[in-house]
Chains A and B, each alone.
Chain A
């Protein structure tokens, strides 16, 4: 089995791209209808979809940089998939326009008078529209630049592998990792935490990151399984690589839960009204359901299932778990973005009682943003080798076995 005789190119293209286009078309119709019927819910549904897909791109970028920095060899064969998922980030730049259009619908700090709100008066130098827009543009400039540079350098190794590129990938990753840590933290604060601008949690960015990396791993697992049937990727990615992805998935299930509990625990114990209200909003009426789904579905059940070696080495368990994790990650984003919105609607008398608000609008936005994201990722996967064929550690990665 020599690597040279294999092309590692997508052979059976299938109708993935057409499905993505169909999702975009349906999503677009639904989204436009939603915008004209219920703009407030439209923008909140958009925020959930936008956070969800951006977080997956970010997690994939973290995976790529982590790979370069640690000099890992097992992950070479799955790295290219991560590198293509992160190419969804530059396209998400376009969607920031929708975010900026929805500033007033989403963020109450844009129209509350600081003179009447002591919290906002203090936070005004940070929470103001020009700075918010500037920061979001800055995040996407950084992420797009990193994604494009890392991707391009890695692809240049396919045809012309040099020690210099190999070294420069590490340098870019080192700088990128530092930028990533700051930008993802501030992005989580800006987009999701500032919805309820009285509330604050310093660990919030880490919580967002935990979910992001976990679901990038789930997405890599699913794409790897899908692509193995459509190319000779099955010669490169074996059960051993899924086993290692499974270990990381297990680790980050625990990490996400640890951070989520750390955030909850301090606020629950401290019992200060402006902190606990955030959790109170998520325990009001039917909001208990998503809260419990997160506790049992995002932590307990996956923890118990994924702790076993046999689960990580089973394609079926890994596939079902990856789909499930993507679903609960969506619940997580929804759980972060919606409760303050429904509470406001309840106070305004729009809703008879506070609780989960779900209609055709949320799926419409999910498939629109997701369709665009996955269409770009799929185009990248179709046009390039599915593994970094020039990487000096590729052979070691293919032969990798868990002992």
Chain B
């Protein structure tokens, strides 16, 4: 009777993915290349520090953050210019220092400032959105060994949602490319 109660209350256990540890940054880089070449798409490499060349090794495309920042800068800068023009020569024209209403050189400072602000906000927000941040929880946190990713651990994780994912095949594959402590990460 008690057994039944426990089973009923326990939430479903699901598989998040497979985690494999590697010895160092170089091994991680080459392992990432092999995972990429094997056709996996939903995988990630974890290391305590950025590794040069990892983007290519993982087969990532160039980030579009730059374009987001550029468009945002253009929009906010244009808005700043428009607002100054509209307020000082359409809505409430005032003669200032004997200059024409539409004294556009005077708008440059605020336009420049807002363009820079637009670029900064565009870069920050698009980076957060594209990275899906902030993300307070991730399935990999169920893995005990994963805690080392911010200390001295180098890991590759392949997500369960990947089209090529198979609990047996993927584990064998990660072991074949030199992964150790290969672990199927499960949690609630």
Using CB atoms and an 8 Å cutoff, list the residues of chain A in contact with chain B. Answer: 261, 264-265, 268-269, 271, 307, 309, 401, 403
Contacts and interface: CB of A to CB of B under 8 A. Distances in A.
A403 B105 CA distance: 38
B160 to A, nearest CB: 31
B106 A261 contact: no
A19 B27 CA distance: 55
Contact of B97 (A269, A307, A309, A401): A269
A271 B97 contact: yes
B70 interface: yes
B66 A261 contact: no
Given A271-B98, A403-B53, A403-B55, 9 more contacts: A264-B105, A265-B105, A268-B105, A269-B97, A269-B106, A307-B70, A401-B52, A401-B53, A403-B52
A264 B108 CA distance: 12
Interface in B25-71: 52-53, 55, 66, 70
Contacts of B125: none
Contact of A265 (B66, B97, B109): B109
Interface string B93-110: 000011100000110110
A383 to B, nearest CB: 37
Contacts of A269: 97, 105-106
Contacts of A264: 105
13 contacts: A261-B108, A265-B105, A265-B108, A265-B109, A268-B105, A269-B97, A271-B97, A271-B99, A307-B70, A309-B66, A401-B52, A403-B53, A403-B55
Nearest to A271: B97
A269 B53 CA distance: 50
Give the bracket for the number of chain B residues in contact with chain A.
10 to 19
Interface of B: 52-53, 55, 66, 70, 97-99, 105-106, 108-109
A29 B55 CA distance: 59
A91 B105 CA distance: 42
Contacts of B105: 264-265, 268-269
What is the predominant secondary structure among interface residues of chain B facing chain A?
helix
B94 to A, nearest CB: 15
A34 B98 CA distance: 46
A401 B98 CA distance: 54
Nearest to A270: B97
A49 B52 CA distance: 46
Contacts of A309: 66
Nearest to A309: B66
A401 B70 CA distance: 24
A309 B63 CA distance: 12
Nearest to B55: A403
A261 B104 CA distance: 13
Contacts of B99: 271
A373 B128 CA distance: 52
A265 to B, nearest CB: 6
A338 to B, nearest CB: 24
Contacts of B55: 403
A403 B50 CA distance: 11
Nearest to B67: A308
A61 B164 CA distance: 57
Nearest to A258: B112
A271 B98 CA distance: 10
The 7 nearest A-B residue pairs measured at CB: A403-B52, A268-B105, A265-B105, A271-B97, A261-B108, A269-B106, A265-B108
Nearest to A307: B70
Contacts of B70: 307
A307 B55 CA distance: 22
Nearest to B51: A403
Contacts of A401: 52-53
Contacts of B52: 401, 403
B118 to A, nearest CB: 14
Nearest to B66: A309
Contacts of A307: 70
B110 to A, nearest CB: 12
Contacts of B109: 265
A303 B74 CA distance: 13
A265 B109 CA distance: 9
A268 B99 CA distance: 10
Contacts of B66: 309
B52 to A, nearest CB: 5
A298 to B, nearest CB: 16
Contacts of A268: 105
Nearest to B53: A403
Contacts of A265: 105, 108-109
A236 B91 CA distance: 60
Nearest to B52: A403
Nearest to B50: A403
A269 B105 CA distance: 9
A173 B70 CA distance: 37
B65 to A, nearest CB: 12
A335 to B, nearest CB: 18
Contacts of B97: 269, 271
Nearest to B106: A269
A307 B71 CA distance: 12
Nearest to A403: B52
A270 B132 CA distance: 49
A307 B108 CA distance: 20
B45 to A, nearest CB: 15
A188 to B, nearest CB: 23
Contacts of A271: 97-99
